[in-house]
């Protein structure tokens, strides 16, 4: 942006009240600032890739550009904070704050979801390792296979939840065994506890497992594909999927709705977009006052489509 004379220093001269939001791989300062950064590389440096996967296999990449999404959220939140500091609240009137820079690094946005991993390391020298479909130090919380080949996540990791689940699956002996009475004890016996739960889930189809676990009020969730999401009544009831009409497509298109939900000023999709290049001529004529001959020349030189 600096090379195009659109960097912070250039624009703040024109408008000192400007909130300038920047997203880059490694931020605008530090020894790595000039490095190019994709979500994939920044997910690695942010620590997520290290803990994501199974101990005996290479690190796993989720089939999403998670780092980009997290950085987008961070940048949006930072922009809102900067706007509040400038336009509202005691800080603005007291300190005379005007514009400022929101400097978002993708690797930092990823690091922000690492919870207490750095505290574990600095306080006790513990390095959180990949743990497959479990989470370190919390038992039971895992993914279990069902008779019909599906997966269900069950989180019964409080003392009462564990007891209720064990009673439901017919293992009152484990529900009342002192060695499983608290999480610290259950962590020591994680492999056995998970095997007992999965022995039960594999005797039933996924919907039946879910019904039973719901009945004992233990948190659980079937592992959804995007097809499952599109057909789920909760998504529909919450208006989480919007239908938009795009003229050059034969069918209406499902898109994610705007979130989070606001009671008085809810978001909505007002315009689904146009064909690529559909408004090129109109924009260039109206904003740059180009003539038909000039547009024809740009088109002939393949500068515009």
The pLDDT tens digits for 81-124 are 999 989 886 655 566 788 999 999 999 999 999 999 999 999 99
Rounded-to-integer distance, Cα 59 and Cα 53, Å: 5
According to DSSP, the β-strands at 100-105 and 19-24 are parallel
In the chain, CATH 3.40.50.10540 covers 8-124
The two three-digit tokens of residue 270, written as one number: 């007002």
| Percentage of residues in the chain having pLDDT higher than 90 | 86
Q: What is the pLDDT of residue 74?
A: 98
Instruction: State whether the Cα torsion 70-59-51-62 is positive or negative.
Output: positive
User: Quick one: 21 exposed, middle or buried, by C-beta within 10 A (0-12, 13-18, 19+)?
Assistant: middle
Rounded-to-integer distance, Cα 268 and Cα 258, Å: 6
The pLDDT tens digits for 238-265 are 999 999 988 777 788 999 999 899 999 9
Give per-residue burial for 174-192: e unless 16+ CB within 10 Å, then b.
bbeeeebeeeeebeebbee
pLDDT-derived band at 275 (thresholds 50, 70, 90) equals confident
Return all residues near 207 (Cβ < 8 A) that are at least 6 apart: none
Mean pLDDT for the chain overall: 94
Q: What is the pLDDT of residue 246?
A: 84
Q: What is the pLDDT of residue 272?
A: 83
pLDDT beyond 70 at 277: yes
In the chain, CATH 3.30.1540.10 covers 141-223
∠ CA(50), CA(51), CA(52), 5° rounding? 95
**Is domain 8-124 given the CATH code 3.40.50.10540 in the classification?**
yes
CA 226 to chain centre: 15
Q: Which of 68, 120, 205, 281 is catalytic?
A: 68
Q: What is the mean pLDDT of residues 198-202?
A: 98
Is 279 a catalytic site residue?
no
Tell me the fold of 141-223. formyl-coa transferase, domain 3 (3.30.1540)
The closest alpha carbon to 67, from 82, 52, 83, belongs to 52
């Amino acid at each position: 942006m600096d090379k195009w004379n659109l960097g912070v220093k250039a624009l703040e001269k024109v408008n000192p009240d400007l909130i300038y939001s920047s997203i880059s791989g490694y931020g605008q300062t530090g020894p790595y600032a000039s490095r190019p950064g994709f979500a994939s590389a920044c997910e690695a440096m942010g620590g997520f890739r290290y803990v994501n996967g199974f101990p005996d296999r290479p690190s796993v990449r989720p089939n999403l550009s998670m780092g980009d999404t997290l950085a987008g959220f961070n940048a949006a939140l930072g922009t809102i904070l900067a706007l509040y500091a400038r336009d509202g609240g005691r800080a603005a009137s007291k300190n005379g704050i005007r514009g400022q820079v929101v400097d978002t690094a993708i690797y930092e946005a990823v690091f922000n979801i690492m919870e207490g991993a750095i505290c574990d390391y600095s306080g006790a020298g513990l390095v959180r390792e990949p743990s497959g479909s479990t989470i370190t130090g919390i038992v039971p919380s895992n993914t279990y296979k069902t008779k019909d080949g599906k997966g269900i996540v069950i989180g019964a990791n409080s003392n009462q939840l564990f007891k209720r689940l064990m009673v439901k699956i017919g293992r009152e002996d484990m529900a009342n065994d002192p060695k499983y009475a608290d999480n610290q004890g259950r962590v020591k016996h994680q492999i056995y506890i998970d095997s007992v739960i999965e022995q039960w889930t594999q005797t039933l189809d996924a919907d039946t497992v879910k019904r039973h676990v719901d009945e004992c009020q233990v948190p659980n969730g079937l592992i959804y594909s995007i097809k499952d999401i599109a057909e789920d009544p909760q998504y529909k009831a919450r208006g989480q999927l919007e239908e938009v009409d795009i003229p050059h497509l034969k069918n209406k298109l499902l898109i994610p709705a705007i979130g989070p939900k606001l009671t008085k000023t809810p978001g909505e999709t007002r315009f689904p977009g146009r064909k690529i290049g559909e408004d090129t001529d109109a924009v260039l004529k109206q904003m740059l006052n180009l003539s038909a001959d000039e547009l024809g020349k740009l088109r002939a030189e393949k500068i515009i489509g």
